[in-house]
Amino acid sequence: MTSRALDNLGLLTPQASAADRAALLDAVQFGARCFGGGTVGGWTLAWTITLPLAGAAVLYGIGVTRLWSRAGVGRAVMRLQLCAFIAGWLVLALALLSPIHEASRGIFAAHMIEHELVMVVAAPLLVLARPLPLFLWGLPKSYRKPIGGLLHGMGRGLGRSGLTDPLPATLLHGLAIWLWHVPFLFRAALVTEWLHWLQHFTFLSTGLIFWWALLGRASRRSGSSIVHLFATSLHTGLLGVLLFLTPQLWFGEQSREAASWGLTALEDQQLAGLIMWVPAGVIYAGAALALAALWIVESGKSALYHADALPTR
């Protein structure tokens, strides 16, 4: 945007000094870079990401404040839930806005770090936070009932579809991971901006469904979550091993800036595969072991309850 364009928009008076014109022009150009998908100091501030993140934080903060003002601090919303939301939100912002995202366009290892942060760290934290009721409490009172009813209906629809059951959720999430690593789809997401963001949305949304299905009370009680977490660890680990061991470049364009990290394109791909294989696998396995411990404890409590309920002579 030029100074003449600012004049035509009526943003400057004829008497404005050259310094005022330059300052306003710099501010407008800065805003255009921020909200047009450009980077500022390595940070990507596209409005399609910043506005939803900011809106979620504001709604959650208002909801927590309202509930705690009525029920008392730490009631209705546990402090651990609040910490989980803050941590999940920060990890999501780190993955999608920080220099990691900008580096991910030309360095495969950074790309893999970004996606693992979204699917394996941010998604389970946000599920554990259970933020939807807090979002509703953050809305004006007149909007809570209709939007709450809409969300309830959508939730029931998902439940009837079976997508929130452990097996379908695991298959859906796995399908998203493998499909986006099909070479022609992966390359298309590299050069087409809306496909790039669709890739992120797919990973996050299926990740949320996956963790929601596995961290639910019914899944924990049956122990099925443990099996599905280990299965996910195995198939994502397999994809990581293939990337790590193959002598061929799968996505050469993805590693075009690998030299800036002191890597060749093949080394960059191998590092990306190693990140998917080991750190992500450790998180899946750790979650499975934690759920196994909970399952054993809950099974023991249930056995004791039923034993106490048996009639005695």
**Cα 126 to the chain's mean position, in Å?**
8
pLDDT of the residue at 6 = 45
Q: Nearest 5 degrees, angle CA 127-CA 60-CA 138?
A: 125
pTM for this predicted structure: 0.81
pLDDT of the residue at 28 = 47
Q: Which of 48, 83, 51 is nearest to 200 (CA)?
A: 48
CB 60 within 8 A of CB 131: yes
pLDDT of the residue at 266 = 94
pLDDT of the residue at 14 = 54
Q: Which of 26, 55, 25, 49 is nearest to 36 (CA)?
A: 49
pLDDT of the residue at 263 = 92
Q: Letter for the amino acid at 304?
A: L
pLDDT of the residue at 18 = 62
Q: Rounded CA gap, 279 and 266, in Å?
A: 20
CB 239 within 8 A of CB 275: no
Six token digits for residue 299:
């099974």
Q: Which residues is 43 bridged to in the sheet?
A: 40
* Burial status of residue 122 (CB atoms within 10 A of its CB: 0-12, 13-18, 19 or more): buried
Mean pLDDT, 10 residues at a time, the chain of 313 residues: 50 55 52 55 82 93 89 80 94 93 92 95 94 89 85 77 86 96 91 89 95 76 82 95 92 89 93 94 91 78 51 53
